[in-house]
Chain A
Amino acid sequence: MKWDTVIGLEVHVQLATKTKIFSGASTAFGAEPNTQACAIDLAMPGTLPVLNKQAVHYAVMFGLAIDAEIGKESAFERKNYFYPDLPKGYQTTQLEKPIVGRGNVEIQLADGSTKNIRIHHAHLEEDAGKSLHEGDFRHGVSGIDLNRAGTPLIEIVSEPDISSAEEAIAFAKKLHSIVTSIGICDGEMSQGSMRFDVNVSVKPSGSDTLGTRTETKNLNSFKFMEECIVKEVERQIDLIEDGGTVIQETRLYNGDTKVARSMRSKEEANDYRYFPCPDLLPVIVTDETIEELRRNLPELPDARQARFVEEYGLSDYDASVLGNDAGMASYFEIAAKTSGSAKLAANWTMGELAARLNNEDISIANSPVSADQLGGLVTRIVDNSISGKMAKEVFEGIWAGEGSADEIIEVRGLKQVSDSGALEQMVTDVLAANQEMVDDYINTDEAKRKKKLGGFMGQIMKASKGQANPQQVNQILAKKLNELL
């Protein structure tokens, strides 16, 4: 039997505000536990929330980016449940009147086709803190760090329009690209800046009736999400084909052990008792605010991709790789402008740099080689100061913090010899010292002579300690040998 997969995603995106959604405490990542949890975040008695304007604006910007209806009047509800990382005993979130209504996200698939994924809505809410189960504290206890509690989130809820793990990943990456491009999220997956809940169900191919779905919560990497979907689809199909039924449940996927398990017992007990939060009033977004945010909305990935082709003459592929990632895109543009060579800047950004960052798991925002520095390096390749091989050495130097390309070229004496007088002398000397090779060259059949050039090149490069400009040497060598014929 053939099966169709139906997937819907709920994506939690941490907004890149300086402070919490309802308090003036910092949201900076990596602080000592509970040093960024103020009285409001700790739900101390008598404390009250006041909404962060930037969080509202960021949410509206997301709505504009996906061409969604903006909730001009939105409202907050309380979602009640007890958990140690939830200090108030309720999460302040939006249910009835979200700030972002229906919208659309277009994804590109590997075969070059595109597909529209509908967004049901996106709402503002607060993040919870963290429970730490292992640490320097006593055995049998958990430690609660509330630094993250109150960090603003938008939760983006898709329609179940996704029909494979590949599409799910493409959708997730597209969202990542959008939120980082418009600057509302830092996109740092490893810090939990984007987290995914995946709803999966299967149904007989072509059937109109949806199957029972399961929800796997809190996936924080594209890779884990892909693995989890593949496994869950397989599990559901196996289960049904073996005569079983899928039960609606919440599941947890452990990316390290690659094992998913049910949290059903917890789910059954829940009754969140949503009701309007009496401490917060209706949130009004005026037409003026919407228009101002629309005017200042940074370039979206699709537009940027088109522009890269148009403005820099990049291939569609290069433009999509660079254009989809806000960090890569702005990095590339700086390097391209500094160096004047978009093509080389693109190659280096996507090649050497991306590979190195990827290997060392560093984000482009934290790259040890700045875009200006890479541009400086490319400049020296373009003007023939250094060869491609030397450039790799210089790149290593910049990465290691030794300074700019020019400084490293200077200090290491890597400058390519392009002075034609000096090169001519070098060629003359090598030819004089290798008369046998010269004779051999002259006596060789014309068609095969070209192959003999390599030998001379090797000698010359050796004599120049690798600093001779190979293209120039090639020209001079050919000229001089021809004169001898």
Chain B
Amino acid sequence: MSIERHEIEKLAMLSRIAISDSTIVEVSQRLGSVLDLVDQLQGVNTEGVQAMSHPMQAIQRLREDEVSELNQREALQKIAPDTEEGLFLVPKVIE
């Protein structure tokens, strides 16, 4: 199975991973090979089978609404690529 160029481009856009023109064919082939593998699922009869999202039949625990995390800005921003005035900086966001 091969994936068409425009599909690869869409995946690259959705996942925000730049794919260069020179590798797009190779990427497509290898993805295609993996999709051939997972396509084995298509033939399985799963009628009436529940989808399973969690291995355990557990339920969500709830946390009390109490403040436990105080200001850690300094420690957390020390490892940030670019900050100023306590803000994380990015190239201008255009809505």
Q: Which of B58, B61, B63, B95 contacts A252 (CB 8 A)?
A: B95
B63 contact set on A, CB distance < 8 A: 24, 50-53
A361 to B64, CA, bound (A): 34
Contact A141 B92 (CB under 8 A): yes
Contact A142 B90 (CB under 8 A): yes
Contact A278 B72 (CB under 8 A): no
Contact A19 B87 (CB under 8 A): no
B84 contact set on A, CB distance < 8 A: 136-138, 143
B88 contact set on A, CB distance < 8 A: 34, 84, 143-144, 146
Nearest B residue to A53 by beta-carbon distance? B62
Nearest B residue to A131 by beta-carbon distance? B93
A39-B62 contact in complex given A25-B67, A141-B89, C-beta closer than 8 Å? no
Contact A144 B69 (CB under 8 A): no
Interface presence of A281 (CB below 8 A) = yes
A42 contact set on B, CB distance < 8 A: 76
Q: How large is the interface on B (under 10, 10 to 19, 20 to 34, 35 or more residues)?
A: 35 or more
Contact B14 A271 (CB under 8 A): yes
A17 to B88, CA, bound (A): 26
Contact B89 A276 (CB under 8 A): no
Contact A138 B95 (CB under 8 A): no
Interface presence of B21 (CB below 8 A) = no
Nearest A residue to B89 by beta-carbon distance? A141
Contact B59 A284 (CB under 8 A): yes
Contact B67 A135 (CB under 8 A): no
A131 contact set on B, CB distance < 8 A: 93
Contact B60 A283 (CB under 8 A): yes
B62 contact set on A, CB distance < 8 A: 50-53, 56, 283
A19 to B56, CA, bound (A): 28
A435 to B65, CA, bound (A): 78
Q: Which of A75, A144, A283 contacts B90 (CB 8 A)?
A: A144
Q: Which of A37, A53, A56 contacts B73 (CB 8 A)?
A: A37
B27-75 CB contacts (< 8 Å) to partner A:
53-54, 56, 58-69, 71-73
Interface presence of A177 (CB below 8 A) = no
A186 contact set on B, CB distance < 8 A: none
A56 contact set on B, CB distance < 8 A: 62
Q: Which of B13, B60, B66, B68 contacts A282 (CB 8 A)?
A: B60
B67 contact set on A, CB distance < 8 A: 18-19, 24-26
Given A34-B76, A143-B85, 11 further pairs, Cβ under 8 A: A19-B68, A24-B63, A24-B66, A33-B85, A50-B61, A51-B63, A54-B64, A80-B14, A144-B88, A281-B58, A284-B60
- A-B residue pairs in contact (CB < 8 Å), sample of 21: A18-B65, A19-B65, A24-B63, A24-B67, A24-B69, A37-B76, A38-B69, A39-B72, A40-B69, A51-B60, A51-B63, A54-B65, A84-B90, A135-B87, A142-B90, A142-B93, A145-B86, A271-B14, A278-B53, A281-B54, A282-B59
User: Which 10 A-B residue pairs are closest in the complex by CB-CB distance?
Assistant: A24-B68, A143-B87, A53-B62, A54-B65, A38-B69, A144-B88, A33-B86, A281-B60, A276-B53, A35-B71
